[in-house]
Amino acid sequence: MTVRQAATTSLALGRAAQELGLRRGEFALAVQLGRVRALPDGRGGTPRFDRREIERLRDRQGFPESLRERVRTVGTADGAALASISQGRFFNLARTGHLTPVRFYVNRYHAVVWQYLAEEVRDFARHHPALLTGVAPPQVRAALAAGEDRRPRNWRGRRLGQLLRLGNDPWGRAAAIAAMLDPVTIAEVVRDPYERSRLRVLRPELVPARPKSPAGQEIVERLRQADDPDEILWHRTSLAHALRQAREESPAPRPAPGHRPQSTAAGPARHHPPGRRRGPKAPDPTARPSGARLSTAGASRARVPAATGREAPSPTAPAPSRRRAPSLFGRLWRRRAARA
């Protein structure tokens, strides 16, 4: 199949979302969840979607409401109403890991807003009625007393599972695992700088829309990195295993032997015009000679800028005597005295 034929049988992201009646955010979440299958693309570009896949979803019963309901997300207030519980109980159940967020965003007040799939909230309420009323179980109370919040870790695990399921390139899978670790840990596992560079280039975006403010970006960076020791150890081991598979598939690209960066070789020529040699460096008049003691007069002269070309007289040294030029009468008198 040629490139032109592939383009006619596939759709771009925006057109596919329009055909399915979904907004951009809903369509991106549908792709992450596997509700809509994208065409494989090993180049890491913008995904495209087979027209037959779009037609398959459009032919389903209840389209488009059924598809839109499968990607609908709710926050704490809507989730509590959907489960018929208080917002405080929903919040506690989410903190203790009973509900896994599907995504989050940072609002203008720099607060993290977690979102959950509506169908998962309904399923949880249907299968765990004992957690919805009465006194919370002891393990839930103990986790709340310890101040645990498992939402970030559960979200990272879910997001990594999505990336590993959608990715078919060994280096892309290794980059997805590395996205969960901080740069110091990555450098400890990946000693080769060229391999680290490739992982950095292929690192996927974990959050669809990053905040513009530096404070919001810092929050996103903190949430995307593993912070629990067990979680870090798990990702380190997974990254080492993924790297071995990626190296067997294709080594990381490296520069040719004997290659020198152009900036290093041509660096000095930019500072000196052609045809001119760099002469010896002029001695600094304010520099102190090695092993010599600087006198009071020398210290006074050292404080004068060299650009003036003059030396200031020392306040402690006597002023040098000046000899006056002899007058004409004095010169004639000395000449006659010499002849006599």
Each residue's pLDDT expressed in tens, for the chain with a length of 340 residues: 444 444 568 899 899 999 999 999 999 999 999 999 988 765 556 789 999 999 999 999 999 999 999 999 999 999 999 999 999 999 999 999 999 999 999 999 999 999 999 999 999 999 999 999 999 999 999 999 999 999 999 999 999 999 998 877 899 999 999 999 999 999 999 999 999 999 999 999 888 778 889 999 999 999 999 999 999 999 999 999 999 999 999 998 888 776 665 544 444 444 444 444 444 554 554 444 444 444 444 444 444 444 444 444 444 444 444 555 556 656 665 666 666 5
Q: Which amino acid, 298?
A: G
Per the structure block, which two tokens stand in for 97? 């890991």
* Predicted local distance difference test score (pLDDT) of residue 16: 94
* Predicted local distance difference test score (pLDDT) of residue 9: 83
**Neighbouring-strand partners of residue 263:** none
* Predicted local distance difference test score (pLDDT) of residue 258: 66
Q: What is the CA radius of gyration of the chain?
A: 38
Residue 225 and residue 156: Cα distance in Å, rounded? 8
Count of Cβ atoms closer than 10 Å to residue 218 Cβ = 13
Residue with tokens 């949880």: 124
Q: Tell whether pTM > 0.85.
A: no
Sign of CA dihedral 283, 284, 290, 293: positive
Count of Cβ atoms closer than 10 Å to residue 271 Cβ = 7
* Predicted local distance difference test score (pLDDT) of residue 233: 97
Residue 41 and residue 48: Cα distance in Å, rounded? 8
* Predicted local distance difference test score (pLDDT) of residue 235: 97
* Predicted local distance difference test score (pLDDT) of residue 337: 64
* Predicted local distance difference test score (pLDDT) of residue 41: 65
Per the structure block, which two tokens stand in for 194? 């060229």
Q: Which amino acid, 133?
A: T
Helices 76-83 and 118-127, packing angle to 10 deg? 40
Residue 128 and residue 2: Cα distance in Å, rounded? 53
Per the CB < 8 A criterion, the answer to whether 22 and 68 are in contact is yes
